[in-house]
Structure 1
Amino acid sequence: MASIHRDVLIEDSPENVWAAIRDFGEVHLRLAPGFVTDTRVEGDTRIVTFASGVTVRELIVDLDDEARRIAYAVVGGSLEPRHHHASMQVLGDTEGRSRFVWIIDVAPHSLAEPIAEMVDQGIRVIKQTLDREVAPTR
């Protein structure tokens, strides 16, 4: 098993960042447009289609507004690891910014590198999408 842990600073409030993440059926519009091309929700499962053509079925395990955390597990689709559990969490940082933490546990270990590459690409898009315009300081 492998664990992939990514952490990035987002130039927006935790409330705004969490609102985009929490809207788990709109990933393709609010969180990672272009990287994710479609998201559909069926009960407690979302079907996510990536620009690469990979489609996954993700069981929403937990949605915790107080902790600003969503947990999900891949349970089907064109990428079917033996085990895949992930969480995304938004933490407050200084000056109205947010710390976005994404953790993925996956087996077999051979899937760690390709999934880490997807995560790295996704987190770049997420940051670009959620960063608000910051006025330059004078």
Structure 2
Amino acid sequence: MATIYKEFVVEADAAHVWNALRDFGAVHTRLAPGFLTACHIDAEGARVLTFANGLVAREALVGLDDAHRRLAYTVAGGKAAHHHASAQVFDEGEGRSRFVWITDVLPDAMAAYIEPMMAQGGAAMKAALEGHAAPASMAV
């Protein structure tokens, strides 16, 4: 199983970053605008995301842990046989936090497609959380 690990520092309080991350249905406006163009919650409670490149993915919430500022989800359907991810926010002092995003995927070859998307998603998240405009090119 391939594991993709992304970590970045956000110049914002951990409580602010967590508040945006935990808002499962507003990921396209609060967490990764520009990278994601739409999100809606389906009848089963999963979020259906539309990416800037036109890709549509369905993500089911696996866990939401306020005490540890951690959210986990799985992607249902699509080309991957298995796709599970988690994101966690750590306090790095006043006005600063660390965002850790980990994805496990099968088959391993899917990592070559998912990793650049996560890199762009991370850049969009950092920009949004710090109150900056999203990077110019979000289409992957």
Q: TM-score, normalised by structure 2?
A: 0.90
Deviations 1:22-81 (A, max 9, x none): 1110111001111000011124311111011111111100011111111000012xx330
Following superposition, the deviation at residue 132 of structure 1 comes to 4.8
Match of 1:30 in 2: 30
Of 92-101 and 112-121, deviating more is 92-101
Paired residue type of 2:39: T
Deviation at 1:113, TM superposition (A): 1.1
Q: Which moved more, 1:79-88 or 1:38-47?
A: 38-47
1:74, 1:67 → 2: CA distance?
22
- Deviations, residues 65-112 of structure 1 (Å, cap 9, x unaligned): 111111000012xx3300000001000002331100000000001110
Query: Over the residues paired in the alignment, what is the CA RMSD in angstroms?
Result: 1.2
Q: Which residue of 2 aligns with 1:131?
A: 130
Instruction: Say whether 1:17 aligns with 2:26.
Output: no
Unaligned runs of at least 5 residues, structure 1: 134-138
Counterpart of 2:82 in structure 1 is: 83
Give the length in aligned residue pairs: 131
Show structure 2 runs of 5+ residues with no match. Answer: 133-140
- Counting only pairs closer than 5 Å after superposition, residues 54-69 of structure 1 correspond to structure 2 as 54-69=55-70
**1:71 maps to what in 2?**
72
Read off the aligned partner of 1:129 and give its amino acid letter: A
Would the aligned equivalents of 1:39 and 1:47 in 2 still touch at CA under 8 Å? yes
